[in-house]
Amino acid sequence: MSFRKDFAWGEATSSYQIEGGAFTDGKGWDIWDVFCREKGKVFEGHTGDVACDHYYRFKEDVALMKELGIKAYRFSINWSRVFPNGYGKANELGVKFYHNLIDELINAGIEPFITLYHWELPYEVYKKGGWLNDEVIEWFSDYAAFIVKEFSGKVTKFFTFNEPQCFIGLGFVTGVHAPGLKAPIRDSFIMAHNVLKSHGLAVKKMRENAKQDILIGIAPTGSMSYPDSDKPEDIEAARTHLMSCNPDLSNWTWNVTWWSDPVILGEYPEDGLKLYKDYLPEIKKDDLKLISQPIDFYGQNIYNGNRIKMGVDGKSEVVKRYEGFPKTALDWPVTPECLYWGPYFLYERYKKPIYITENGLSCHDMVSSDGKVHDPNRITFVESYLKQLKKASENGVDIRGYFHWSLMDNFEWHSGYAERFGMIYVDYQTQKRIIKDSGYWYKNIIAENGENL
């Protein structure tokens, strides 16, 4: 089978990156609102205060999605828009915004996929210790239960966390993202464990509160590994490389298994337990039971990967990229193979249906004299990646959908508006949107269910 008949051809965004309305209608501050106000943290002092003004323009944006022909839309709910303090009384106007958005999507024939947490930690929760405070597990899972109670009459697909690797790693280990801390390594492991426990308790409470059967997953990220050749030893080397814990403690969150093994297999990986043993909090049996609540699918954000071969010493070896290796505007390598081998290895290990929850690139897009935005590099990139994904699907990997990052240009975290990831161009001075060439190209791919790839 190339792509399933009901393949979710989608686009993805997140709340802080597009909504704006940062202090509107009772929204509480989140850690990004605070971080962006600190000098020198975000490119040229950009903030998400207005972003794409989606809070006010969501109808126009859904109309554009319809124009693109997308079948599914992955967006995040801002926890602090719903619970300004993180818990307690819900903010009705915030809840109403998401109802309106969801209704608009459904009327346009687009299936909403909700991410509960795409890094929008309420500042009030942060002040109480955030992920370091065990109480966060109750607070997050209560928020998750509330969202499901509220929206599960209309929405059936949910992701708990987006990229725990990033929000713990960049937020608390290297400190380039909000809240911008370089916490002691031990603390980062406590936070990671609390994030996983929050996931587990959330899944449990979400099921208890659902109005109909819902499907739940998580959306981690990571650099994938792909073999240098089809030789079994290179494939084995790539598999081992992908599924090994990162020995570099200054960057330890960048690994697949530390996060995903507990969630799906119910245990932390042995190599990680050894590598990180001096820094780990107490891990109880019951914790793992909680963390491994059954989930329905596995999301994975995939942007690139490393070519791996079996070294002469029998260990996995990263193959150096040749000079002039293709790269995106953000200098990320272009490695389409990762969209075959990533899902292949993940499916082999976790045996869950897979959604590619993000994939895409930043380009130096601009409006041409004909008023259009020509982005051939984006088309080349997405086409080559999708071909690999199709091959994975043909070879039996259960791929349910693909969410391109992103629907429209938006606030790219500490890079501000300097990077453009969208299939829709946004002029931030006028908020005018222009569908890029890639958007029309994607529309055509969707219409043919990828048969024309």
H-state helical runs in 69-184: 79-82, 92-107, 123-127, 135-151, 164-168
- Segment interacting with ligand FCB (CB under 6 A) among 140-148, 162-170, 277-285, 321-329: 162-170
Residue 358 is among the residues annotated as catalytic for this protein: yes
Closest CA to 302 of 220, 242, 239, 408: 220
Q: Does 35 bind ligand FCB (CB under 6 A)?
A: no
Which residue in 91, 141, 198, 221 binds ligand FCB (CB under 6 A)? 221
Segment contacting ligand FCB by CB under 6 A, of 207-215, 287-295, 374-382, 405-413: 405-413
Q: Does 421 bind ligand FCB (CB under 6 A)?
A: yes
The SS3 call for residue 7 is coil
124 is catalytic: no
Residue from 163, 337, 412, 419 carrying the catalytic annotation: 163
- Interface pick for ligand FCB out of 194, 253, 255, 301 (rule CB under 6 A): 301
Question: Does 412 help bind ligand FCB (rule: CB under 6 A)?
Answer: yes
Binder among 10, 11, 14, 238 for ligand FCB (CB under 6 A):
14
- DSSP summary character for residue 44: G
Q: How far is CA 108 from CA 63, 65, 71, in A?
A: 7, 9, 9
Give the integer Cα–Cα distance in Å for 86 and 77.
Answer: 13
Residue with tokens 């509480």: 28
Q: Which residues, at least 6 apart from 426, have a Cβ–Cβ distance to it below 8 Å? A: 52, 408, 409, 410, 432, 433
* 316 touches ligand FCB (CB under 6 A): no
CB of 2 to ligand FCB, least distance (A): 27
The yes or no reply on residue 259 touching ligand FCB (CB under 6 A) is no
Q: What distance in Å separates the CA atoms of residue 308 and residue 227, rounded to the nearest whole number?
A: 5
HSE value, Cβ hemisphere, 13 Å, CA-based, for 305 = 27
Q: Does 53 bind ligand FCB (CB under 6 A)?
A: no
Write down the least CB distance from residue 138 to ligand FCB, Å: 26
**Piece of the chain touching ligand FCB by CB under 6 A; list 137-145, 159-167, 258-266, 369-377:** 159-167
Residue closer to ligand FCB (CB basis): 131 or 146:
131
Instruction: Provide the b/e sequence for 305-321 (b: ≥16 CB within 10 Å).
Output: bbbbbbeeeeebbeeee
Residues serving a catalytic function are: 163, 358
Contacting residues toward ligand FCB, per CB under 6 A: 14, 17, 162-163, 166, 221, 301, 358, 405, 412-413, 421
